[in-house]
Structure 1
């Protein structure tokens, strides 16, 4: 199929959409939405997020050097959208939605109780890039709802009803996987020759 060429642009879709909780030195807590977030390293666990300097939480994170990345679900989509368009400079969004907060374990910033998975982070570095600055975040602790963990200790994200963001719209994720890592080269179980004998 023929393709149309665009100038260099942010076309990576879909992306995770998360709610970030932040806290300043006066103890004020804010929550805001970001869609520019990605895992960049596993050992040590590091994430990258892009944040505009004019956002209130930009100052909070730069001041405290910590934040919490809260994963979002279908039930949270209205909160996600609202916290992405309303500024904490004019309104307490946590109070607006009466959001329950969970105290931090490895940091002082709280997480959102409504979120099924919350990643506590400490800032590793901040790099100005243009409209956004890139924050590299060390993940220091992860809170996971008990009902998402099976008997083998596996986190079942398919049960979390997570959402994503794609070109200005929110979408729910299909809980049925198309495959698992390595399935394309995995050998199929061969029948035991002895079991075939009658």
Structure 2
């Protein structure tokens, strides 16, 4: 392994960690809803609000996503960690994941796929483009609506991230999020100095 100034040079790989561990729910008309655990997910545009998920073609949910063009991204937390992992290693072809994990389908407002009621945040999406990339295809989708557990809103209506106890994923392991260390722009905001009265 080549060493450069105290750093090892590795072959190209996925090192953009940690990443969100989300459960994506989808459903064909007349069939049971399904859940797929997705690690390759992220925001891609703010106006219109858009995100992407990347899914292997051989996954059971791939064809459902391709055919329906709709899905719900459900954020996961400590309480949902076991279900998140279970839904990621079992196939919807063989199991009713909602039933097996005692999860409740949540009726969506803008798409036909249900969300997961136990999830702190549900993001309803419509696919706008599918990019064939290699091991995964990327579904680029527009966010049609978001539902948030009202118990996680502070007195100003802001989402309380710490109370949500969200989890992330890194190299095959799940982690809860750490402590807040700053907010956007804090590095350039000048501290107000109080003038002493003489």
TM-score by length of 2: 0.95
Q: Deviations over 1:47-92 (max 9, x none)?
A: 0111001111111111110000000000111101111111111111
Q: Equivalent residue for 2:90?
A: 86
Q: Deviations over 1:117-157 (max 9, x none)?
A: 01000001001111100110100000000011122221111
Which residue of the partner structure matches residue 41 of structure 1? 45
Summarize the alignment of residues 19-30 of structure 1 with structure 2, pairs less than 5 Å apart: 19-30=23-34
Deviation, structure 1 residue 25? 2.7
State the alpha-carbon separation in 2 of the partners of residues 197 and 126 from structure 1: 65
Deviation at 1:159, TM superposition (A): 1.0
Aligned to 1:141: 145
Matched, 1:75 2:79: yes
Give the structure 2 partner of residue 186 of structure 1: 189
Aligned to 2:154: 150
State the aligned residue count: 194
Tell me the distance in 2 between the aligned counterparts of 1:60 and 1:136.
Answer: 15
C-alpha distance after superposition, 1:30-59 (max 9, x if no partner): 011010001111111010111001111111
Answer whether contact 1:21 1:110 (CA < 8 A) is retained: yes
2:113 is the alignment partner of 1:118: no
The question of 1:62 aligning with 2:85 is answered no
CA distance in 1, matches of 2:143, 2:175: 26
Counterparts of 2:193 and 2:128, CA distance in 1: 48
| Stretches of 4+ aligned residues off by more than 6 angstroms | none
* Contact 2:50–2:143 (8 Å) recurs in 1: yes
Structure 2 residue ranges without an equivalent (≥5):
none
Q: What secondary structure is seen at the aligned counterpart in 1 of 2:72?
A: strand
| C-alpha RMSD of the superposition | 1.1
Q: 1:27 to 1:89 in 2, by over 3 A?
A: closer
Per the normalisation by structure 1, the TM-score is: 0.95
Q: CA deviation at 1:27?
A: 3.2
Deviation for aligned residue 1:185: 0.8
